[in-house]
Structure 1
Amino acid sequence: MARVSQAHLDARRRQILDGAARCFARNGFHATSMQDVLREAGLSAGAVYRYFRSKEEIIGAIARECFTTVRAAFEDASRETPPPPPDVIVGRALHQVYEGPAGFTQGGGQSFARLILQVWSETLRNDELAAILRDGFGHLREGWTALVESYQQAGLVRDDIPADHMARTLIGTVQGFIAQQALFGEVDVEVLRNGLRGVMSMGATASAASAERAS
């Protein structure tokens, strides 16, 4: 009997996750059955249950994958000197998630956002999924905090504000953007980037105005 290659196994797992993500985004987590996932993925029950025993395991795998993609964007940014500004990092991370292996581009940003809102809501009743999100959020805080500290050391932002406070605020900004995507329709990532650039320009604009008045 021919041995199944790792590439084949990975492709099957990818096929299941992509199909499930489309189902969850389109119909909702609770309204989607495992039979729906089987049909969407075009696989037999035996093929799917070889990888995942339940919908909960599938959505947990999708959540881990999203955090892994975002973490990679932070790691790339941390290797740059000086580190890119927040609007650039946020734009990169969201684009990498939308265009990454989870296949969210088929439904656009709103498809991804609707799926993320369902993941968040499931954490209220699923302790295992809640643990995945807590771990992912912790890594996001660490990544943003390290970058904010780099900004402070470079004199780019105020150093009298705790770096963790700014990190949590930046994460909250992205979470709010995702909620807008899910609830009110497609919003281009460039809207968030422009908004962040506008907020970050406030101090510079005020300084320029003060200099003009002084002269």
Structure 2
Amino acid sequence: MARVSQEHLDARRRQILDGAAICFARNGFHATSMQDVLKEVDLSAGAVYRYFSGKEALIAAIVEEVLGQVRDGFEEAALSSPPPPPDLLVSSVLGRVLESKEFLTVDGRPAFPRLVVQVWTETLRNDQLAGILHDGYSAVQKTWGRIVEAYQDTGMMRSDISADRVARTMMAAAMGFLAQQALFGPAPHEILRDGLRALMSVRDPYDTTGGSQLG
């Protein structure tokens, strides 16, 4: 019997994950059955269950993969000295993630933002998924904390605000942008870049220190 190559196994796993993501984005987790996934990917039950034990395992794998992509993008930026400014950093990482999923569509619209919102909703009832999401976001938050500290060390950002609070705000901006796409339709990630850039340019008219909080 011929040995199946790792490349073939990886491609089959990719096929199942992408098909499941489309199903979940289309109808939600609860309205999607494993039979729906089997039909979408055009594979037998045995072929799919070889990789995933069921719907919960598929959901967990999709969440872990997406969070890993986001974390890796920010980890790469954290290695730069200094890191790119927030407007470029957030939009570029989010843009890369969106572009890697742009072939996933539901009724001609991007499936990924809808899938993200489905995941957030599911965590309210699924403790296992909530744990995976918490761990993933915590890792991203820690990476962002290091990036903010690098900004502060180089004088790019005021140092009287905690790195954790800045990290949470940047993550909120990215999450909010995804939610907007799910609700109102696709939009280029440059919108997020330009909006953040404008906000970064605001000067406090009541700041009598002349911006001396930097450094």
Deviation string, structure 1 residues 160-183 (Cα, Å, up to 9, x no partner): 011101111111111111111111
Give the structure 1 partner of residue 65 of structure 2. Answer: 65
Structure 1, unaligned runs of 5 or more: 211-215
Query: Is residue 71–residue 139 contact of structure 2 (8 Å, CA) maintained in 1?
Result: yes
1:172 aligns to 2:172 (yes or no): yes
**Deviations, residues 175-205 of structure 1 (Å, cap 9, x unaligned):** 1111111112222211111110011111399
* Number of residue equivalences: 206
- Over residues 124-164 of structure 1, what are the superposed CA-to-partner deviations in whole Å (9 max), with x where a residue is unaligned? 11111111100011011101110011101111111001110
Tell me which residue corresponds to 2:104: 106
Residue in 2 that maps onto 1:213: none
- Offset of residue 206 of structure 1: 9.8
User: TM (normalized to structure 2)?
Assistant: 0.89
Tell me the residue number matched to 2:151: 151
Report 1 or 2 for greater relative contact order, CA contacts < 8 Å, sequence distance ≥ 6: 2
Instruction: Give 1:104 deviation, angstroms.
Output: 3.9
1:32 Cα deviation from its structure 2 partner: 1.4
Distance apart, 1:95 and its partner CA = 2.0
Is this contact kept in 2: 1:145–1:164, CA < 8 A?
yes
Deviates more, 1:179-188 or 1:119-128: 179-188
Residue-by-residue CA offset, 1:34-56 (whole Å, 9 max, x unaligned): 11111111111100011111111
Aligned partner of residue 31 in structure 2, secondary structure: coil
Q: State the shift of 1:106 in Å.
A: 3.2
- Shift of the 205–44 alpha-carbon distance from structure 1 to 2, 3 Å rule, reads farther
Aligned residue for 2:84? 84
| Identity across matched positions, percent | 57
Helix, strand or coil at the partner of 2:75 = helix
Q: Measure how far apart 1:28 and its partner are.
A: 1.8
Contact 1:16–1:48 under 8 Å retained in 2: yes
Kept in 1: contact 2:24–2:32 (CA 8 A):
yes
Paired with 1:49 and 1:136, the residues of 2 have a C-alpha distance of: 25
The one-letter code sitting in structure 1 at the alignment partner of 2:103 is T
Q: Which has the higher helix share?
A: 1
Q: Secondary structure at the match of 2:32?
A: coil
Alignment of 1:118-129 (within 5 A): 118-129=118-129
Q: CA deviation at 1:114?
A: 0.7
RMSD between aligned alpha carbons? Answer: 2.0
CA distance in 2, matches of 1:77, 1:205: 32
Contact 2:94 2:174 in 1 (8 A): no
Q: Which residue of 1 aligns with 2:42?
A: 42
